[in-house]
Structure formats: structure tokens, C-alpha cells
Amino acid sequence: MNAATIDLLHQAITDPDTQWSIGTFGAIAEFSRDPGEPVTLRQADDAVSAITARGGIAIRHDPRNRALASESITRSGWNQRIALCLAEADGAMGSRTALTELGADTEALRASDRESILFDLGLGAPHADFCVRIDDDETAVQLRRHVGRAVFEPGNPAMGLILAANPHRVFISRLGRIEVYQPIPPASGRSPEGPHTHVLPKLLKTGRTHPATEPIPEGWVPCAHFYPPHPARGGSGEVRPFDPARHQTFQAMIERFGTPEILAIKRRVRDAVAADQPPSAMPGDRHGRAGIRIALRQLTAAGHASPVLQSWLQTFDPAGLEADADEADLHHD
């Protein structure tokens, strides 16, 4: 990890509008906090962390960490994120496929939690462990009876025991961890605001480490993400007036940590529209084509006045002509 990445993390951890996640495609823990919410912040040579009454995030500084800024298309807008990546071998975790007792959580973010027992749910992701932390002896005894079994195995009562106990959820990668202290919502309820987790068994079965829309290089895995404030949406995905300062802040990040090929395509589009040139053929793979559409949507959101912008949208992104927001536009894909 170079000095620029460390500086980036030190700045991000202090921003209450920046959100974080650790997980895989189908299982994810998210951390966020409200402006003014009491928080314990740490910015040190070895790590950054933020802890509230609802949850916590810690990210280690690792010289092997590669930051990758990217954007992806959504139904009516775009997402933006920075992935913190390791090579597959460096990012490997337990890859357990059955409930496993790991012992006391000696690395818990709060000292009061370090004698509680971690159980890995055994979700099988190569680069993240998905755990619950049990502070009740009776629940730990009952869960031990089902160690070695897949938690979603038909007839296995382990998940029911976990839901009844409402333990802390602790999602861990080689670069850090997110801890969620809020209650698990009922199956019929929506996730609470702030720190929470999602586990979707059908998506887990794909075995993917990240959405196909994210340009993670071959041989690398995303061990954490953070999501700088979006210029056109609030933290819960709600539409908000376009914020040029937020836009420029992330565009500076993507210039520093983005994929050069995609950045070059976006520049070509912006330059052509600024010069009032009509739509022309643009090279690019799946991610490059998405870059064209994102550039056009960003020009539209920023209120760019051009007689040719609508022609470009009609040619490359007719969906971008629609102004309706969509729940699929959430930052975590």
C-alpha cells in the first residue's frame, strides 16, 4: 500500500457520508454512520477504524493492498466505489463450508467483546469469513452440536438458533472486519439504517467474489470496499440535487486509482460532446461501453448544455434519457 492509498483511507474514515462493506457476491456486511453520531475514530500507522453503538469497521494498512476506483451502470444512474484488493493467494481466508467454532474473538474492535465466541457460518467464500459472535454460553453449547454441518442444510436448526440469539455479525477479510451490533431484522422486515448484513444463498451459489459489472483485475479479489458520497444520491439511495463538489472529488479519485482504458474512453466522450461532435463509433469491452454510458449520464446530471448530448444518449444509452430513480441504484450493486 502506497502513501496515496493510506491518505485516502485516513480521509475516508473521518467522513460520515462514506460507507463501507466487506463480503462477497451474495453475502455482505455494510457499515455507515450518521453525521453527529457518536463515534470512536482511529487513524494510525497500521490501520484505520470507526466504532459506533451500532457497529464498527477496521481496515489494516497492508503494503500488498491495491486500491481500484470504478463506476458501474445502474438502471437510471451509476454507482461508484473503491475496492481494496489483494492477489488471490494473499487474500485467501478459511473457505469453510460448514459451521465451525473459531474460539474467542481476540481481535474484536471493543475490548468487552474479546471473550465472546466466534462461529464461522461456513459460507465458502475464498476471501472472506462470515461469522457470528456468541456471548451466551447456552447458545454456544447448542451451536456446538451442529458444528461440521452446512447451516443451510435441510433440517439443520443452527440458523434458527442464531436468529433467536440475535448475535453480533462479524465479517472478516485479510484487510479488516466489519462488526454489526444491531438486531437481525425478521424475514419480513427490511434492513435497519446503519450497519447491517445481507446473506443471499442463491447468489452465494454462483461462487463469484464480486459483481460482473466491477472491473476487478484477473487474479485479484476485493477484500473491502468503500463508497465515497455520491453526487446524485443520498446514503440510502434517495435522489438528491447534483453536487458538483462530490462529483469532482470522486473523479479525482478515479483519475488516481481507476482503470486507464476506461478513463480514456470517458475523456473521449466528454471531449466529443464538448466539441459538439455527433455520435461516432467507440471501441471498448463491456466495461468500456459502460464507461461511455456513465460519461453521458454524468454530463446530463451535471446539466451540461449541448445540442448533441441527446443524440449521444439516443445512440449509446437510450435508457439514460429516462429520469426516474430506481431502488436498484443502491451503492453496493
Question: 283 and 176 in one domain?
Answer: no
**What confidence score (pLDDT) does residue 185 get?**
82
**What confidence score (pLDDT) does residue 186 get?**
77
The rounded Cα 65 to chain-centroid distance in angstroms is 16
User: What is the three-state SS of 295-333?
Assistant: HHHHHHHCCCCCCCHHHHHHHHCHHHHCCCCCHHHCCCC
Domain carrying residue 303: 244-329
**What confidence score (pLDDT) does residue 324 get?**
36
**What confidence score (pLDDT) does residue 279 get?**
94
**What confidence score (pLDDT) does residue 2 get?**
79
Residue 236 domain flag? no
**What confidence score (pLDDT) does residue 41 get?**
98
Domain count along the chain: 2
Residue 235 domain flag? no
Question: 282 and 197 in one domain?
Answer: no
Residue 9 domain flag? yes
Residue 40 domain flag? yes
| DSSP codes joined into one string, 171-235 | EEETTEEEEE-SPPPPTTSPPPSSSEEEE-HHHHTT--SS-TTS-PPTTEEEEEEEEPPPSSB-T
The series of mean pLDDT values per 10 residues for the chain, 333 residues long, is: 88 97 96 97 96 98 96 93 97 97 98 98 96 97 97 95 96 98 82 90 91 93 97 89 96 95 94 94 85 96 92 90 40 47
Question: 40 and 146 in one domain?
Answer: yes
Q: Which three cell numbers stand for residue 56?
A: 464498527
* Residue-wise pLDDT tens digits, 97-120: 999 999 999 999 999 999 999 999
Residue 50 domain flag? yes
